[in-house]
Amino acid sequence: MTVIATSSSLGLAARVASILSHELIVAEEKVFPDGEKYVRIPRRVSGDAIIIHSLHPPQDERFVQLLLTIDAVRGVGASRVIVAIPYLAYARQDKRFLEGEPVSVGVVLKSVEAASADALITVDLHKPSSLDEWLRIPHANLLPVQHLASYFLGKLRDPVVLAPDKGALARAQLAAETLNASFDYIEKTRDKITGGVSILPRQVDVCGRDVVFIDDIISTGGTLIAAARSVTSAGARSLYAACTHALLISGALDKLYAAGLKEVVATDTVPSPVSKVSIAKPLAEAIAEFLIG
Ligand code: R5P
C-alpha cells in the first residue's frame, strides 16, 4: 500500500506512513497562471493507495485538489483508493436551515464518492450520521476525544469538563471519564425580569476548579471566549480548551489567551501551533482495518 501526501496534510501523512511502514509519495502541485490547480503523482502505484488530505482553509482550493488527486491516483494504477479527510470542511451545513440553502456536507461527500474514492475516513465529523446519509462507499468517523483528554492527565486540579453547548455533552462526558472529572454543558439563559443573558454551566459549580472546554472546532474562538468569560466570573481557577480541529481564524488563539485560557490543545487534523495531539495512530489503525476488511 502507498500513502499519498499532499501539501494539505504532509506531516500527518508522513506519520501515518511511518506507523504503517508503507511507502510515502508526495503529490506534485502547482497553480496555473489563471488560478486552476495542477496535481501529479510522480510514480506508478501498485496495490491500494491512501490519500491523506485535510480540507482546512483555503477549503475550496483544497477540495478541488482532493478531487484531482483521487483521479490522478487512480490513473497511476491504484487498485483501491482510500481517502482520509481528517478535517472535512462544510460539515456544519448539514441541513437546509433556511429554504433555498444547499446541504453542503452532502455535496462534498457525494463529490468525493463520484471522483471514484473506494472508502472514506474522517475525524470528528460535526454530525457523524452525515456519512451514512450521503455515502454508499464504506466509511468511518474517528473520535479523538479520549486522546485529547489524556493530554491533560495529571495536570489539573479538581477538573470539570464543559461542552460549549448541549449537543456536545456526550463529548464532554467521554473526556470526563478519561480525566475522572465531572462534566456539564454551558447553557444560555435569559433573566425574565432584567432580560440579562448569562452563559453558565447548567448544574456544575466551577468555583475554584480547573475547567476544560471541549469542542469539535475552534474557528473564530467566539464560542469559547464567551464561555471563558462566564466561568471566570463564576470563580473558575484555570481554563483550558481542547478541540479536534483548530481552524483558529482571525487571531483566534491570541483572543483565547487574552480571554484567560491557560492552554489550548488540538489534534493535527488541521496543522496549527496547538496541534499537540496526533491522530496518526488511530488513523493508521482505521486504515489498516479498511485494508483487511
Ligand atoms: C458549532 O456548532 C461548533 O461545534 C463549534 O462550537 C463552533 O464551530 C466554534 O466556532 P467559533 O470558534 O467560531 O465560535
> Residue with the nearest Cα to atom 2 of ligand 1?
92
> Residue with the nearest Cα to atom 10 of ligand 1?
219
> Residue with the nearest Cα to atom 7 of ligand 1?
217
- CATH number of the 2-142 domain: 3.40.50.2020
Ligand 1, residues 88, 92, 93, 219: which to mutate, most atoms within 8 A of Cβ? 219
Residues 6 or more apart from 155 whose CB is under 8 A from it?
A: none
Local structure of 128: helix, strand or coil:
coil
Active site residues: 188
Q: What's the distance, CA 262 to chain centroid?
A: 21
* pLDDT computed for residue 165 by the predictor: 83
* pLDDT computed for residue 198 by the predictor: 63
Q: In terms of CATH architecture, what is 146-277?
A: 3-Layer(aba) Sandwich (3.40)
Ligand 1, residues 223, 245, 255: which to mutate, most atoms within 8 A of Cβ? 223
> Residue with the nearest Cα to atom 5 of ligand 1?
217
Cα distances (Å, whole numbers) of residue 136 to 50, 108, 123, 229 = 18, 14, 18, 44
Instruction: Please write down the long-range contacts of 180-189, taking CB distance under 8 Å and 24 or more positions apart.
Output: 181/156, 181/212, 184/160, 186/162, 186/227, 186/230
* pLDDT computed for residue 138 by the predictor: 96
Establish whether domains 2-142 and 146-277 are of one fold: yes
Cα distances (Å, whole numbers) of residue 203 to 50, 185, 226 = 45, 8, 18
Query: 228 C-alpha vs ligand 1 centroid, how far in Å?
Result: 14
pLDDT in tens, the chain (293 residues): 999 999 999 999 999 999 999 999 999 999 999 999 999 999 999 999 999 999 999 999 999 999 999 999 999 999 999 999 999 999 999 999 999 999 999 999 999 999 999 999 999 999 999 999 999 999 999 999 999 999 999 999 999 999 988 888 899 999 999 999 999 998 866 666 776 656 777 778 899 999 999 999 999 998 899 889 889 988 999 999 999 999 999 999 999 999 999 999 999 999 999 999 999 999 999 999 887 76
Q: Are the CB atoms for 196 and 174 separated by under 8 Å?
A: no
Query: 170 C-alpha vs ligand 1 centroid, how far in Å?
Result: 16
Q: Are the CB atoms for 246 and 256 separated by under 8 Å?
A: no
Cell matching residue 59: 477549503
Cα distances (Å, whole numbers) of residue 185 to 76, 96, 122, 235 = 49, 26, 25, 17
DSSP character for 167? G
* pLDDT computed for residue 192 by the predictor: 67
* Domain ranges, ordered by start, for the chain: 2-142, 146-277
Query: 165 C-alpha vs ligand 1 centroid, how far in Å?
Result: 10
Cα distances (Å, whole numbers) of residue 190 to 166, 200, 227 = 16, 11, 15
